[in-house]
Homo-oligomer: A and B are copies of this chain.
Amino acid sequence: MTTKVIKGGTVCTADRTWKADVLIEDETIKQIGEDLKGDEYIDAEGAYVIPGGIDPHTHMEMPFMGTTAAETFETGTWAAACGGTTMLVDFCLPGPDGSIKNAINEWHRKSAPQICTDIGYHMAVTGWNETIFNEMKDAVEMGVNSFKHFMAYKGALMIEDDEMFASFKRCKELGALPMVHAENGDLVADMQAQMLEKGITGPEGHAYSRPPEFEGEAANRAITIADTAGVPLYIVHVSCEQAHEAIRRARQKGMRVYGEPLAQFLTLDESEYFNTDWDHAARRVMSPPFRNKEHQDSLWHGLQAGSLQVVATDHAAFSTEQKRMGLNDFTKIPNGSNGLEERLAVLWTRGVETGRLTPNEFVAVTSTNVAKILNIYPKKGAIVEGADADIVVWDPKITKTISASNHHSILDYNVFEGFEVTAQSRYTISRGEVIWAWGQNSQPQPGRGRFVPRPAFPSAHTALSKWKELTAPKQIHRDPMNIPAGI
């Protein structure tokens, strides 16, 4: 068993920053300290040594809107690795048979031979019946402890409120985490129709038909439902102040709600949809859409203040050709954008280099927080002894202009095209193995990644259940004399 030492770097975790070497034995971190020795050395001079990024929101090869996301598990995990991300959590959708168990197995079948980094799944609950109720338990036993609910995509993935409530209650029993795509699907559908009627068929119609109020409303509704079910809630792709406000308000009542802005939402704005180049605009079509600068500020402040916890990408890559399915009707443009590979660099440049975030906060929102929320900390998201050696040597001196011409994603464009970033992964290490080395012609190794099962009942879940039990309604005991005899 050869050992490796990451040498000379500055370890930066969610809670501190210090000079130390990191000794890796096999797949795990063996020791952190000064002057460590090993069989091999990985040079971290002048660089930070951070936990590998975790992108908790991706859609590889997802069948959606009549096509399939172009990014494969291989290209996706490879692009992630190049960008410093060592684990994805992908959304698993039930197939035509509606079975959760089968869907997870199908996802395994697709991902296992391809993945270059580790992976986990969130399971989508897109309807409600006894089989789903039962199979949610199977999912948890298979290591999937989070369930996604779409409040939008009416007529497709959208779930009704009472079904969602049933699912949330089931999550509570199972110690699982419900998640929502929060947009009011009824209103979106109606607005889409209105736009088309008015002759607004271009990508701007996408933005118009999904205003921030729809997202805020749905977030607020999901929060109330989760609070009633007595379970924490994770709101994916928070794009706007309205949803953020709902989250803050809930948290200030003691509710356990998490919010996930995307790297795109922090840095790109709605003017993209008004671009007069159709392809440019269509490539940015995703739901919710990009918002304006005020919303961006709100999201940054949420990350600073702790009212938002995680930065993800919702990476769902559709090629320009696929996007053109909606040439005459924006509602047919497959929803999704890229970001998997750029997330860390963009966040570092726009966040840490500006002073909006400390380096520790950067680590927290790119890996540690979500590892805790998903209950795989400190196996992932940490640099501590015993943890998986998912580590990135993060070089704050490598500058790069983001471009489709130099990215590793399968996509033929990049929504961050032209962004100047000032940091890159010098080495990406996945369970002890260097899978990416800057400038050294690294190649993907499909199939080396593993599925990471996640246990149920994280501490917030348990605490919340305790509080709910303590404050549960109590019967009033009435003397029979004070109860009328009946009629």
A residues contacting B by CB (< 8 A) are: 14-17, 32-33, 161-162, 165, 184, 186-187, 190-191, 195, 198-200, 202-205, 208, 213-214, 216-217, 220-221, 224-225, 227-228, 245, 248-249, 251-254, 256, 273-274, 276-279, 281, 294, 297-298, 300-302, 304-307, 320-321, 324-325, 327-328, 352-361, 368, 372, 377-378, 382, 384-386, 459-460, 462-470, 473, 475-479, 482-484, 486-487
Contact = CB atoms under 8 A, between A and B. Distances in A.
Nearest to A14: B15
B204 A16 contact: no
B276 A358 contact: no
Nearest to A211: B228
Contact of A307 (B306, B324, B357, B475): B306
Contacts of A483: 278, 327
A191 B477 CA distance: 20
B355 A465 contact: yes
6 nearest A-B residue pairs (beta carbon): A355-B466, A355-B467, A306-B306, A208-B473, A251-B305, A217-B224
A378 B475 contact: no
A326 to B, nearest CB: 10
A187 B166 CA distance: 10
Contact of A475 (B33, B204, B248): B204
Given A205-B473, A208-B473, 16 more contacts: A15-B368, A165-B186, A165-B187, A217-B220, A278-B478, A279-B482, A281-B476, A306-B307, A325-B487, A354-B466, A355-B463, A356-B467, A358-B459, A360-B459, A361-B463, A385-B385
A58 B466 CA distance: 33
| Oligomeric state, in copies | 4
Contacts of A190: 162, 165, 228
Nearest to A13: B15
A304 B251 contact: yes
A148 to B, nearest CB: 20
Pick from A165, A304, A307, A368 the residue with the most CB of B within 10 Å.
Answer: A304
Contacts of A328: 486
A460 B359 CA distance: 10
A254 B15 contact: no
Contacts of A228: 187, 190-191, 213-214
A163 B127 CA distance: 21
Given A227-B213, A276-B482, A254 B301 contact: yes
Contacts of A224: 184, 187, 213-214, 216-217
Given A15-B14, A17-B459, A483-B278, A200 B254 contact: no
Given A199-B475, A216-B224, A252-B248, A278 B15 contact: no
A279 to B, nearest CB: 6
A16 to B, nearest CB: 6
A76 B298 CA distance: 44
8 contacts: A15-B372, A248-B252, A252-B298, A278-B482, A327-B484, A327-B487, A355-B463, A356-B463
Given A276-B478, A463-B358, A487-B325, A15 B17 contact: no
Contacts of A184: 161, 221, 224
Contacts of A487: 321, 324-325, 327
Given A165-B186, A198-B473, A205-B473, A217 B221 contact: yes
Nearest to A464: B355
Nearest to A20: B386
Contact of A479 (B276, B357, B463, B470): B276
Nearest to A201: B475
